[in-house]
Amino acid sequence: MKSSPPSTNVIVSVAVPSPLRRAFDYLVPQDINFVPVIGARVVVPFGRQTLIGIILDLKNSSTLAIEKLKPITQILDQQPLFSTSLLELLHWASNYYQYPIGMLFDAALPGWLRKQQSLEIPATTIPKTIITANSFELNNAQQTAIAAVQSSFGTFKTFLLDGVTGSGKTEVYMQLIAAALQQQKQVLMLIPEINLTPQTLQRFEERFKTPIAVLHSQISEKKRAMAWLQAKAGVAPIILGTRLAAFTPLLNPGLFIIDEEHDLSFKQQDHFRYSARDLLLKRAQLEHCPVVLGTATPSLETWQNVNAQKYQHLILPERAGKAVKPEIEIIDVRHKQLQAGISNNLLAQIKQHLDNKGQVLLFLNRRGYAPVLMCFNCGWHQSCKRCDSNMIFHYNSKILRCHHCEAKTYIPDVCPECKDPGLNTVGLGTQQIEASLKMHFPNANIARVDRDSINNKKQLQEMLDKVHDQTTNILIGTQMLAKGHHFPNLSLVAIVDIDSALFSADFRATERVGQLITQVAGRAGRGTKLGKVVLQTTHPDNPLLTTLIHKGYHEFLRLLLEERKFTNLPPFSYQVLFRAETKQPSKANQFLQFIKELLIQHQPKVSCLGPIAAPMEKRQGFYRAQLLLQAAQRKTLQELLAIITPKIEEQKVAKSVRWNIDVDPLDMY
């Protein structure tokens, strides 16, 4: 940390919460309350406002004339809140995600600290940790994994801990945490959704008698700020949280863990669109820590890094002993009468499982929701002539569109292959299924569970209680239900509509459905009844599907990677998505067209797809369009964005359009 220079004019460069992409210089008055340090909060005048900012730099000159500089009002912290490596991470993130540095502190600093002027520093004595011993012998795979990670303590190295549910990953995490704690180091662990997986915290509390700082968006601002400060002071040896916890300062960082690394919730989908996983990897590099990425279903990005030997692959083979794998059955729904998307075969199986006092879970993969026009007689679906993709039905304009080029076509009256008039869109709602099942099973208790119906701990607990005491017979839900829960009486799981994932406009939909099937099937075992997984499809011979079922997730990944390589999609290329929306119909499109011209002028090597209308073109009164940039190298895009973004912002029109930049977008549709 630099000390203040021995100059008469002390100038500080401050990040203030403003959309302008730069820091602002201020004078430090002689009689200021504390000595300014980099990483401390200051109160500054900004236009007519008074704002809290962070000191990014100390200097003795400015590009502005000294008389023009305003003085800072107050220094809030005697000690920096952010270490140099954490500030370096924030600079990196600001550049990488094209997000103004001052605004980025909205994510990096708990709200309470962005407002509260004085700090209550929590007790600073570092407690003695008591670790409860585990009651069993670790198996060989666990021992190997632990030894590998432990031997790289103090250095940056990434590990993929690859093991199905119940293979002992959490036990490996806990052993590694114990080892780090013994060296007086802190461990930061990210999990997808803390409310949905309260059992992780519970197990940690049983194992470690030590403060655990818990950070997520559902705890009060003050509590979160306290946890943050405890982590910073080194008083909390373990830090557990959702993606926002990735910015928590640590006194002695020793190890980072990301559980369920493939999970989409690690990517923020609005404002500061960062990936907490990627950011934590960067942080680990800066802070010389090993990182463990744990999952039963690695993402393709991670898998490619394993193939390239950038990550070390640690495998926990499937659970030993009594675990029985469920039978996976594909129901071919071609030529079949469906009721709210459910075949008679599946209805019969639901009845049988209910009669045997089993519970039934029906999944509807709503994320991949993007209706494809399909013939239910022969399985024909409209694909684009110029691209390796399906055309998507647009409700507003009643046409089919390709999302990779600009091709459009009208909807045929009959199937072009078999002349059957039974053309239908694939894309169902959970409510429709619920209504239909109520009719078929009037005595069953049916619960619909999705992010609209469950969003806090209490609702979740009520839902889980009803499942556990068997009040609920049929559960209908989204992928959310696949996370971490053990339903001991679940005997049948059906994925109602695999096709919407196999033929989605979203090229990542197949990866996700593969993860879902694997996660669901992995639930079976000791104490669980799960006997059957049923998949409904009009493409029973789809090679990805059959590979997944007969050869497993790793082989499925291999095939999927080949496909991505062939189509030149991530992880074999890198993407940036520009989104724009306006009240006037074509203005968003024009704005993106302007950006496209700028981009091509500066870098002919990138490919620009679009601008095209967003799949749901009109939303909340706004017309939405998008422009996708793709290049073989990350660097090409990064260099281009650094030049282009300020040029876009200079434009007057940029202020009248709602637009954003999404680097490494995960959800484009």
By the criterion CB under 6 A, which residues form the site for ligand ADP?
Answer: 136, 138-139, 142, 163, 165-171
Q: How do strand 311-316 and strand 658-663 relate by DSSP bridges?
A: unpaired
Strands 490-495 and 532-537: parallel
Least spacing, CB of residue 171 vs ligand ADP, in Å:
4
Shortest spacing between CB 176 and ligand ADP, in angstroms:
12
Size of the site for Zn ion (CB under 5 A): 15
Q: Shortest distance, CB of residue 506 to ligand ADP, whole angstroms?
A: 28
645-655 burial: b if 16+ Cβ within 10 Å, else e: beebeeeeebe
Tell me the per-residue interface mask from 400 to 419 with Zn ion, x by CB under 5 A, - otherwise.
Answer: --x-xx-x-------x-xx-
The residue among 417 and 555 lying less far from Zn ion, judged by its C-beta, is 417
| Adjacent-strand bridge partners of 342 | 339
Written as six digits, the tokens of 392 are: 């998507």
- Strand ranges, E, within 427-505: 446-449, 474-477, 490-495
Does position 392 bind Zn ion by CB under 5 A? no
373 binds Zn ion (CB under 5 A): no
Contact 74, 53 (CB under 8 A): no
From the list Zn ion, ligand ADP, none, pick the one residue 142 interacts with, judged by a Cβ distance below 5 to 8 Å according to partner type. ligand ADP
Give whichever of 526 and 550 is closer to ligand ADP, judged by the CB atom.
526
613: tokens are: 């209308």
Residue 420 interface partner, choices ligand ADP, Zn ion, none, CB cut-off 5-8 Å depending on type: Zn ion
Q: How far is the CB of 263 from ligand ADP (least distance, A)?
A: 14
384 part of the interface to Zn ion, by CB under 5 A: yes
The one of Zn ion, ligand ADP, none whose footprint includes residue 201, by CB under 5 to 8 A per kind, is none
Residue 415 near which of Zn ion, ligand ADP, none (CB within 5-8 Å, type-dependent): Zn ion
Smallest separation (angstroms) from ligand ADP to the CB of 324: 16
Q: Under a CB-based contact definition with an 8 Å cutoff, are residues 261 and 293 in contact?
A: yes
Q: Which is nearer to Zn ion, 404 or 523 (CB)?
A: 404
For ligand ADP, the closer CB: 296 or 657: 296
Q: How is residue 101 written in tokens?
A: 């540095």
- Distance separating alpha carbons of residues 460 and 479, to the nearest angstrom: 15
Complex with Zn ion: residue 10 or 400, whichever CB lies closer: 400
Distance CA(121)–CA(228), nearest Å, equals 10
Angle between helices 101-108 and 84-96 (to 10 degrees): 120
- Residue 163 touches which of Zn ion, ligand ADP, none (CB < 5 to 8 A by kind)? ligand ADP
Least separation, in Å, of the C-beta of 537 and Zn ion? 16
Does 387 sit near Zn ion (CB under 5 A)? Answer: yes
Q: Which is nearer to ligand ADP, 163 or 211 (CB)?
A: 163
- Which residues fall within 8 angstroms of residue 572, CB to CB, at 6 or more apart? 304, 564, 565, 632
> Would you say 91 or 486 has its CB closer to ligand ADP?
486
**d(Cα 607, Cα 338) in Å, to the nearest integer?**
42
Considering beta carbons, is residue 321 or 604 the nearer one to ligand ADP?
Answer: 321
**Among ligand ADP, Zn ion, none, what does residue 170 contact (CB within 5–8 Å per kind)?**
ligand ADP
E strand intervals along 461-531: 474-477, 490-495
CB-neighbour burial class of residue 325 (10 A; exposed 0-12, middle 13-18, buried 19+): middle
Least Cα distance to 276 among 114, 108, 161, 113 occurs for: 108
CB of 666 to Zn ion, least distance (A): 21
Shortest gap between Cβ of 373 and Zn ion (angstroms)?
A: 11
List the single partner that 382 binds among ligand ADP, Zn ion, none, CB under 5 to 8 Å by kind: none
Q: Rounded CA gap, 461 and 463, in Å?
A: 5
Kindly state the smallest distance separating residue 294's Cβ from ligand ADP, in Å.
7
The residue among 165 and 210 lying less far from ligand ADP, judged by its C-beta, is 165
CB closer to ligand ADP, 226 vs 524: 524
Which lies closer to Zn ion via its Cβ, residue 432 or residue 567? 567
Contact 333, 466 (CB under 8 A): no
Minimum CB distance to ligand ADP, residue 378 (Å): 42
Whether residue 447 contacts residue 472, with contact meaning beta carbons closer than 8 Å, is answered with yes
Q: Which stretch binds Zn ion (CB under 5 A): 80-88, 122-130, 296-304, 376-384?
A: 376-384
Instruction: Provide, rounded to whole angstroms, the least separation between the CB of residue 173 and ligand ADP.
Output: 7
Q: Min. distance of Cβ 113 from ligand ADP in angstroms?
A: 33
Q: How far apart are CA 393 and CA 400, in angstroms?
A: 5
Please, which of residues 537-556 interact with Zn ion by CB under 5 A? none
Q: Which residue's CB is nearer to Zn ion, number 20 or number 399? A: 399
313: enclosing H helix or E strand? strand 311-316
CA-nearest of 593, 522, 479, 553 to 167 is 522
Cα 152 to Cα 145: distance, rounded to the nearest angstrom: 11
**What distance in Å separates the CA atoms of residue 350 and residue 343, rounded to the nearest whole number?**
11
CA torsion angle for 125, 126, 132, 138 (degrees, to 10)?
180
Most distant CA pair in the chain, distance: 86
Closer residue to Zn ion (CB): 164 or 415: 415
Q: Which two tokens stand for residue 371?
A: 């209706």
Please choose which of Zn ion, ligand ADP, none residue 166 contacts, taking the beta carbon within 5 to 8 angstroms, the exact cut-off set by kind. Answer: ligand ADP
Site string for Zn ion, 97-136 (x = CB under 5 A): ----------------------------------------
* Binding-site partner at residue 371 among Zn ion, ligand ADP, none, CB < 5 to 8 Å by type: none
Asked if 375 is part of the footprint of Zn ion (rule: CB under 5 A), the reply reads yes
CB of 406 to Zn ion, least distance (A): 8
For residue 468, the SS3 value is helix
C-alpha distance from residue 454 to each of 5, 363, 463, 480, 531 (Å): 55, 16, 8, 10, 27
Which of 74, 144, 377, 432 binds Zn ion (CB under 5 A)? It is 377
Taking each helix axis from N to C end, the angle separating 84-96 and 634-650, rounded to the nearest 10 degrees, works out to 80
Residues forming the site for Zn ion (CB under 5 A): 375, 377-378, 380, 384, 386-387, 402, 404-405, 407, 415, 417-418, 420
